[in-house]
Structure 1
Amino acid sequence: MVALEIVHASNAQLRELGPGLVALFVGATSGIGEYTAKAFVTNTISPRVYIVGRNTAAAERIINECKLLNSDSRVEFLKGDVSELREVDRICAEIKDKETKLNVVVQTQGNLHLRGREENPEGLDRKFTLTYYSRMRFITNLLPLLQTATTSTPHFSRTLSVLGPGHEGKLNFDDLELKNTFSVGKCASHSIVMNDFMAEELALRETGSSFVHSSPNLVMTGGARELPFWARLAIKVLSPVMSPFAVNAEETGARQLFHATSGMYPPAKPAAGSATAVGTPVPEGVSILKGLNGEVGSGGYAVDWDGKATGKKSILDEYHSKGVGKIVWEHTMRVFARLDKAEQ
């Protein structure tokens, strides 16, 4: 476990990366995304920050609060429903019009419900799109900006997908898209495993950036609003019992920012001659993490809420032996190609 005081000290060193870091936070109008965005604003010099979500009123509140945290920050809201990939494409195009580089991309979008499959206009389930397809679409669309960030001071770029490594389940290889076999549980299993392997595959292809899939642990975010009444009532009743085991807002934001910026999770081939290309210095007493492929400093990582490596080893070992990374990559690219063809 990385001690919280080490996390705070590391985050404070973000100022040493210089002014003008550019960051995108998707799903940041509440919960973990909001907490992490505020931690980023607090610990950086003149950052440019984009937050993506659906709630304009919440975004306005967050922007005002960020200005109080750092008067030199520039925070902009991009409204959109990213359960549809066309909306992801529109938002990415807007970012590309405004920026030439991106140092940090943090994605926390999702919803908590027990309903069945709900297709969007592109034929994908909305929940699955939030937890997997939209996240990969943001990354692949914005790779040119992440690549540019690695070639200009401070030569640093990283993506963080906050979901659930350590809770991997089995994949249905006959229905990776879950078009015919959808359930909430299967959606979670597929999303987690596919986030793992895409972090690994992206790290192989984009060696100057690093790609992290992290777990938040138990965080009381208020995200249960879409659950049925009985489930919301149960959570309310159990909240006093659960609260002592939960990670509070400040610690959640600090720890996820650490995952998004610490040199513990470096790219496979950081820019030569730049100490900041890996992020903030590796804290004393901890070491560079072993990646999903088993190699130290591989560029693709599964990280527990407290900074250590995670992932259900039995499943990941089995799937590595079966070449699942390539299978997941090719499946994802086929889905994106289908969308691109439909748009044409």
Structure 2
Amino acid sequence: MVSLEVVHASNARLKELGPGLVALFVGATSGIGEYTAKAFVHNAISPRVYIVGRNQDAANRIIKECETANKDGKVEFIKADVSELSEVDRVCKEIAKKEKHLNLIFQTQGNLNLRGRDESSEGLDRKMALNYYSRMRFISNLLPLLRTATTTPPHFSRSVSVLGSGGGTALDTADLDLKNTFTGSRCAGHTITMNDLMTTEFAQRESGITFSHCAPGAVKTNLARELPFWARTATKVLYQLITPLTVGQDETGARQLFMATSGIYPPSKPVEGAASASGVSPDKTIEVTKGASGSVGDGGYNLTWKGGVTNGKMLPEYRQNGVSKTVWEHTMNVFARVEKINQERGNVK
């Protein structure tokens, strides 16, 4: 666990990375993404920030708040429904036209509803697409910009997915996309475990970039907005009861920003001679974190909401037995299949 005092001190040193950091926050028109984006803008020097979401009014409010917090920052909203990979591709192309490098991808997109499998025209359940496929697609599409960031001062490059690290379930490798065995709980469990495994897979392939999957903690968000009225009411009552146990907005944003930028979560091979490539210089009282593979500083991290290491019981065995590579291959095959569907439908944007 990392103390809140250490978190705040580290975030205040984000300026060490210099001006002009470029960051993408997906799902940031509410909740954890919003809180973290605002913390980033507040602490960075002249950052350029892209917020992706569906709510234009919320985005306008957030942009105004960011302008007040940092008049030298630039925040731009890109409206998109990223439950469809064609929309993910469109957003990535738009960013690639504007930026040569990207220092941070921070993803929190998702929803909560009581519908069963809600399949899009791309053949993917929309909840699974938000929790998993869209996140991996953003990373895959934007790897060239993340790689360029490692070659450009401050040589800092990160990807963070916030879902529920360490809280996943066993995978049905014969039905990873739950085409035949879908339930809401299986969707949540599968996508969490797959996010965990892909941190290692990406980190092994991209040694100059840090990849993290973080747990959110108990945070009040607007995640229940798509539930029926009775369920939304019950959720509000539950939040009232557990308020003493929840994490506040400011603390949530601060802790997630710490995990996205601290030097205790370095890439496995940071640029030699560039200290900032590992992130914000860490407090001397804490050590570099053990990665998901079991090695210290391996570039792929599964983290609790307080910044410590978490690892589901089955994950080491999955990595040893090649299940993580099975998940990787499945994901790339899904991307290829969806690309073909969209090409045939003329839905390439």
TM-score by length of 1: 0.98
Instruction: Name which of structure 1's ranges 148-157 and 219-228 shifts more when overlaid on structure 2.
Output: 219-228
The residue aligned with 2:85 is 85
Equivalent-residue separation in structure 1 for 2:311 and 2:228 (angstroms): 30
**SS across alignment from 1:237:** helix
| Matching of residues 121-132 of structure 1 within 5 Å | 121-132=121-132
Q: 4+ residue stretches of structure 1 with deviation over 6 A?
A: none
| Matching of residues 230-309 of structure 1 within 5 Å | 230-309=230-309
Equivalent-residue separation in structure 1 for 2:320 and 2:295 (angstroms): 15
- 2:317 partner amino acid: E
Cα deviations across residues 64-87 of structure 1 (Å, max 9, x unaligned)?
Answer: 000000000000000000000000
- 2:55 partner amino acid: N
Give the superposition deviation at 1:239. 2.2
Cα deviations across residues 220-240 of structure 1 (Å, max 9, x unaligned)?
Answer: 113212122332222222222
Equivalent-residue separation in structure 2 for 1:261 and 1:86 (angstroms): 29
| Matching of residues 146-165 of structure 1 within 5 Å | 146-165=146-165
- 1:20 partner amino acid: G
Give the superposition deviation at 1:211. 0.2
**SS across alignment from 1:102:** coil
- 1:327 partner amino acid: T
The residue aligned with 1:166 is 166
| Matching of residues 39-78 of structure 1 within 5 Å | 39-78=39-78
Equivalent-residue separation in structure 1 for 2:93 and 2:237 (angstroms): 44
Equivalent-residue separation in structure 1 for 2:248 and 2:69 (angstroms): 19
| CA RMSD in angstroms, aligned pairs only | 0.9
Cα deviations across residues 100-146 of structure 1 (Å, max 9, x unaligned)?
Answer: 00001100000011210001110000000000000000000000000
Equivalent-residue separation in structure 2 for 1:64 and 1:154 (angstroms): 28
The residue aligned with 1:33 is 33
Equivalent-residue separation in structure 1 for 2:182 and 2:205 (angstroms): 31
- 1:44 partner amino acid: A
**Is residue 12 from structure 1 mapped to residue 15 from structure 2 by the alignment?**
no
Listed as ranges, the gaps of 5+ residues in structure 1 are: none
- 1:297 partner amino acid: G
The residue aligned with 2:311 is 311
Equivalent-residue separation in structure 2 for 1:222 and 1:336 (angstroms): 29
The residue aligned with 1:331 is 330
- 1:102 partner amino acid: L
- 2:254 partner amino acid: A
Equivalent-residue separation in structure 2 for 1:273 and 1:60 (angstroms): 41
The residue aligned with 2:198 is 198
TM-score by length of 2: 0.97
The residue aligned with 1:342 is 341
Aligned residues: 343
Please tell me whether the aligned partners of residues 301 and 309 of structure 1 are also in contact (alpha carbons under 8 angstroms).
yes
Please tell me whether the aligned partners of residues 166 and 196 of structure 2 are also in contact (alpha carbons under 8 angstroms).
no
Please tell me whether the aligned partners of residues 147 and 208 of structure 2 are also in contact (alpha carbons under 8 angstroms).
yes
Please tell me whether the aligned partners of residues 168 and 315 of structure 1 are also in contact (alpha carbons under 8 angstroms).
no
The residue aligned with 2:346 is none
Cα deviations across residues 226-258 of structure 1 (Å, max 9, x unaligned)?
Answer: 122332222222222211100000000000001
Give the superposition deviation at 1:339. 1.9
Please tell me whether the aligned partners of residues 132 and 195 of structure 2 are also in contact (alpha carbons under 8 angstroms).
yes
Cα deviations across residues 194-227 of structure 1 (Å, max 9, x unaligned)?
Answer: 1011110000000000100001110011321212
Please tell me whether the aligned partners of residues 197 and 319 of structure 2 are also in contact (alpha carbons under 8 angstroms).
no
Please tell me whether the aligned partners of residues 158 and 209 of structure 1 are also in contact (alpha carbons under 8 angstroms).
yes
Instruction: Name which of structure 1's ranges 193-202 and 221-230 shifts more when overlaid on structure 2.
Output: 221-230
Give the superposition deviation at 1:284. 2.0
